[in-house]
A and B are shown apart, each in its own frame.
Chain A
Amino acid sequence: MSSTAVGAEHHDHGPAKGLKRWLYTTNHKDIGTMYLVLSFVMFLYGGAFAMGIRLELFEPGIQYFSPEKYNQMITMHGLIMVFGAVMPAFVGLANWMIPLQIGAPDMALPRMNNWSFWILPFAFSMLSMTTFMDGGAPNFGWTFYAPLSTTYAPPSTTFFIFAVHMMGISSIMGAINVIVTIFNMRAPGMTWMKMPLFVWTWLITAFLLIAAMPVLAGAVTMMLFDIHLGTSFFDAAGGGDPVLFQHIFWFFGHPEVYIMILPAFGVVSAILPAFARKPLFGYTSMVWAVASIALLSFIVWAHHMFLVGMPLVAELFFMYATMLIAIPTGIKVFNWMATLYQGSITFETPMLFALAFLVLFTCGGLSGLMLSIGPADFQYHDTYFVVAHFHYVLVPGAVFAIMAGAYYWLPKWTGHMYDERLGKIHFWLSFISINVTFFPQHFLGLAGMPRRIPDYALMFSDFNMMSSIGGLTYGVSQLLFVYIIIKCVRGGEKASEKPWDGAEGLEWTVPSPAPYHTFSTPPKVD
């Protein structure tokens, strides 16, 4: 970094060479790239566990993995996908796009930005190490209910707790950075209600992170005390309460669910207008809808706990509060539909993923509404119906939105157009296989198959086999995405400043690929 010496050429210097560039970088684009690469590696890693799960469930009986290994796989799959794939992917998109979309030269706290990224590889290495420890990796599911995760947990749980703390620190620092950047570094004229929705959704997500992650840290710290220091927070024998754990966990867990979907709303709100060539319908109500979903997310947590034995009034309260979420979510879906209405639509890969998001997220939202109905949840709870529901909102929901965003902004990141034909093949393979995987799981759940079981009764055989075929196909299809990205980074048709004729926003006013430093002089927004 010798060229950082004072001088008029300051804004022209490029990145340092070699490994040091990535270790020491404070550049939002470098850090964004590292987040995106890490999240994709984690997506394949967490996906490998999913492949193991689907392989074991292909037929009834125990074939490939013993029940204790199976429990470790579902736990690692959930933890890696939530904390390693989806969350860092959105942080990566935020790092790349928020400064570009608000006309800022970088994130407000660049050194902290570097640190929040570099914590993560170590956190996930530590989590992965537990696989090789005596007693095996954590085996209590990503929701780690006590006392299964305390008194009855394997010794590696302590390492799991430390890893979760590190992920939490990283997320909180990332969230602080987003908030400070958006509050202080908007270009002149970029008023609150002119900010792109991706920026708005991320701002709200960042507040959710700051409110929710410390609660998770509290939960795992209490576990640590129960395991090593003889406290009894979650042990009834010592005067504690196992249900308390669930209240604390889901007070974090429900906002966490929205942390994984709100930025997706932002991405889709950028892509649908771009390819419909028509402004986003109802910008103001979109912002208010996201804000109200975020607020509601703090008063609905116990709908995950309808069976723990709450009093009737609590059950009713959480049922009504949860049902309310359908209203702002419905507004968003209808607004997106109205954006398409009387547009001039084309079907490039980002648009295909965004449209699939719209249809399939709605499907996941509707099954969520069904789950909010307390008495019906008595039957759905902890069955494959729930598995189908949250995979519909997380895979064709969050993951498809991330894919859509990646295709949409790849020309800006790399300066090349991706291979459109391969992109479309990737989309159709993903779209079909994901439905073959998860739609039958609704039927399995209704017919009575509990979740988190390594083996099942014979009546569930057919749909499980179907689901496994879909899942394995989806997994393999993602390797095509690796190839498409590598191909796009290496070369391809040159991308113009604004490769999508309907796209809006400051990011399309800088050259492609975006130079190492952008907006050193703030643009004027009117």
Chain B
Amino acid sequence: MRILSFLALALYASTGFADWQLNMPQGVTSSSNEIYDLHQLILWICAVIGLLVTAGIGYCLIKFRKSKGAVPAKWDENLFAEVTWTVIPTIILVLMAIPASKTLANLYDTSNSEVDILVTGYQWKWQYEYIDEEVGFFSNMSTPRDQIEGDAEKGEHYLLEVDEPMVVPVGKKIRLLLTAKDVIHSWWIPEFGVKKDAVPGFINESWMVIDEPGVYRGQCTELCGKDHGFMPVVVHAVSEQEYDAWVAGKKEIAAQAALASMKTYSKDELMAEGEAVYMRTCAACHQANGTGIPAAGFPSLIGSPLIEGDVAGHIDIVLNGKPATAMQAFAAQLNDVELAAVVTYERNAWGNDKGDVVQPADVAAMRAEKE
């Protein structure tokens, strides 16, 4: 049955339903093009050597069979042959090393950048902070869980879509500064030829100049825990005007959010916003129904000590995290409205009828206390 479906898929392939991409994408940056050319060069050298070796072995296996009456020779040395197959590979290696070294030096040159973005890896999302613009946000995978679990049709960009992509201008030198908050992650867009580890406590650098506008997709490539496979990287490359407009828009939204945190909300408003925040931020570990995965160290939130305890303790855990566990500090990740909403939601969802309502001002007070 499975084999049949495999054959059916193979037929589909030619119609573009799925693709049989064999080679590296050529990419849209000068770096990715240089890497691509280098890759093509060594791929062909290796393919030719591999084919020659296989052909040589094949020739021996056909020509020197005992069943064909081959009589074994007695020799076991030939200085000329041995020198030849030491010297020729050495020359080939030198010829490969020259372009490789040049490309490497170029990829390391992060000077004269025009846009600087601090990329921070978290379990399991990316944070992008535009250093000169005071714009920053988190980028979470937006593929719904029911697609992953097979309860819904998988979308076109399954696992490679986010709620908020990185937006960058084309034609400008963009410098990425990469770090991580918990474990090591690695940021990769194949079309840019940019892949770099994000190491907690250290800052790595990389750069790109994107030639063509478009949406580019990649993934985290360093095993970083449970949802390592669900941590896509999406970048929108746009014209400079669009980029400037986007930056202005982001600043406007930030200003409104600051105003919004002054307001007082009804319980229904908080529950609605809280559910959205919970699904985006908390459900990966604590699960959509609040049961967690106790066997993997992610506790249930239903009637748990956290819920039964006082509100202040609950806010404190969400704000500051729990050291040496996967429970992160969300103080920098969520604003006061989102934090108030998610705590309200957790205390009143799934049969947790605590009745508590937390307002943004309560969260702000806790923050102030901490500082």
Contacts and interface: CB of A to CB of B under 8 A. Distances in A.
Interface string B124-165: 000000000000000000000001111000101111100000
B339 to A, nearest CB: 23
Contacts of A450: 188, 219-221, 229
A312 B312 CA distance: 50
Contacts of A500: none
B107 to A, nearest CB: 6
Contacts of A61: 147-150, 154
B313 interface: no
Contacts of B64: 276, 340-345
Interface size class of A (residues with CB under 8 A): 35 or more
Contacts of B67: 346
B40 to A, nearest CB: 10
Interface in A217-249: 235-237, 241-243
A465 B9 contact: yes
Contacts of A334: 81-82, 85
A280 B57 contact: no
Interface string A438-480: 0000010011101111111111011101100100000000000
Interface stretch (A31-39, A313-321, A397-405, A481-489): A313-321
B332 interface: no
Contacts of A60: 154, 158-159
B182 A330 contact: no
A147 B200 contact: yes
A145 B61 CA distance: 45
Given A355-B57, A450-B220, A242 B105 contact: no
A110 interface: no
Interface string B235-255: 000000000000000000000
A129 to B, nearest CB: 15
Interface string B1-27: 011001001100100001111111100
B294 to A, nearest CB: 8
A148 B224 contact: yes
B60 A343 contact: yes
A254 B286 CA distance: 39
Contacts, number: 304
A382 B25 CA distance: 16
Contact of A330 (B22, B85, B226): B85
Given A236-B201, A346-B65, A376-B38, A358 B229 contact: no
B42 interface: yes
A370 B45 CA distance: 10
Given A145-B223, A326-B89, A362-B53, A345 B100 contact: no
Nearest to B147: A61
Interface in A326-358: 326-327, 330-331, 333-335, 337-346, 355, 358
B324 interface: yes
A446 B38 contact: no
Contacts of A291: none
B333 interface: no
A461 B224 CA distance: 23
B85 A331 contact: yes
B225 A71 contact: yes
A376 B296 contact: no
15 contacts: A61-B149, A135-B296, A152-B326, A242-B184, A278-B73, A282-B76, A323-B96, A326-B93, A334-B81, A374-B104, A375-B107, A379-B190, A443-B23, A450-B188, A461-B18
Given A340-B57, A355-B57, A462-B18, 10 more contacts: A60-B158, A61-B147, A67-B230, A154-B296, A276-B72, A309-B202, A331-B86, A337-B57, A381-B195, A462-B10
